[in-house]
Amino acid sequence: MRAAMASASVGDDQYGEDPSVNSLQERVASLLGKEKALFFPSGTMTNQTALNVLTRPGDDVLIGDEAHLVWHETGAGAMNSGVQFTVIGEGGLFTADDVVEGCKVRDHIVFPPTTLVVVENTHNRAGGAVFPQTDVEKVLSAARALKLAAYLDGARLFNTAAATGQTLQALAAGFDLVGVSLSKGLGCPVGSMLAGSSDAIRAAVRVRRRFGGAMRQAGILAAAAHYALDHNLNRLSEDHENARRIGEHINGAPRIRFDLSSVQTNMVLFHLEARDNSAEAVAAKAREQGVLVAPFGPRTIRIATHLNVDRQQCERAGEILSKILRSW
Ligand SMILES: *Cc1c(COP(=O)(O)O)cnc(C)c1O
């Protein structure tokens, strides 16, 4: 990847003259079945741009529990676009009924107008959970009937595709805009993409500029993305198998809340039930033995597998964690 970056052909992307960025944008647009795609420095800016393109200040946005847009973007939706979020459903997932119930009618004397629904797939804080596609389709048809725009925060959509065998086009179909990250499972140092219609992406180009994300010789970064799509896309299921292995080791440990069937992609999420045990303490014990896990809440731990850890390392990590959890 570093070698590909070093030898990338580049130009000034602010003038649309970077051949590596241009070819990446075409490649990802076609992967996602959209007219156009646009390169971004981060998934957060991708999300914020989509929100800004698809809403107006004062609008209401329907979104799942513990969404990245609500929890991990430092309140940017309120600050950049002046929207409010209405959280619907449970565990990051929701149904068409939840959309209908959560939607506030427009032109009402007191209601904020609901104009957008956001699906996060896979769902980060739900431990990499896949949003079932039958539910996605029903949510989208409810959204259409209610005249809501639809955004897919697909930062981890490549994992959904790997886990379910569905195509990226099928997963992205029906959404006005779709964001995907190159810097998660695909292993790029930098980069996310936003895809949608030509009109939506034309608007996104100006918003990206406004947010300070228009770059110059970004082809160095686009070359990393091309490399990742060539080499790292088809190995994502290895990460999923490795997460499963870790899950099997910790499964059945006392005083944790964990369901092995919740390991659908490259993450393992579990909760410590004992009040005298904290996620920080477990993470510190694991770190002492070379295993890095994320305390995701006072008693919640998230583990992510990725291309820099192999099967053997994950088996070992699972053994170490299992010992820690069983010896508390
Ligand atoms: C990581 C992530 C993002 C944001 O990506 P950054 O590049 O870290 O800003 C957005 N949405 C989801 C679901 C993510 O997992």
Report pLDDT digits (tens) over 198-229.
999 999 999 999 999 999 999 999 999 999 99
Cβ distance 34 to 193 under 8 Å?
A: no
Q: At 283, phi and psi to the nearest 5?
A: -65, -40
- Residue of 195, 179, 188, 185 whose CA lies nearest to 220: 188
Cβ distance 39 to 214 under 8 Å?
A: no
Beta carbon of 155 within 6 Å of any ligand 1 atom? yes
Is the pLDDT at 275 greater than 80, yes or no?
no
Q: Measured between alpha carbons, how far is 314 from 30 in angstroms, rounded to an integer?
A: 34
Q: Measured between alpha carbons, how far is 107 from 116 in angstroms, rounded to an integer?
A: 15
- Residue of 180, 146, 162, 175 whose CA lies nearest to 68: 180
Of 156, 181, 190, 239, the residue with max ligand 1 atoms within 8 A of its CB, to mutate for a pocket test, comes to 181
Going by C-beta distance under 8 Å and a sequence separation of 6 or more, which residues neighbour residue 65? 87, 89, 90, 91, 92, 93, 125, 126
Cis status of the peptide bond prior to 122, with omega within 30 of 0: yes
The model's confidence at residue 106, banded by pLDDT at 50, 70 and 90, is confident
pLDDT in tens, 108-128: 999 999 999 999 999 999 999
The confidence score (pLDDT) of residue 328 equals: 72
Which residue's entry shows tokens 């431990």?
A: 127
Of 153, 171, 186, 211, the residue with max ligand 1 atoms within 8 A of its CB, to mutate for a pocket test, comes to 153
3-state secondary structure of 90: strand
Which residue's entry shows tokens 């959309």?
A: 99
Q: Measured between alpha carbons, how far is 37 from 195 in angstroms, rounded to an integer?
A: 4
Which residue's entry shows tokens 């646009």?
A: 38
Q: What is the mean pLDDT of residues 166-191?
A: 98
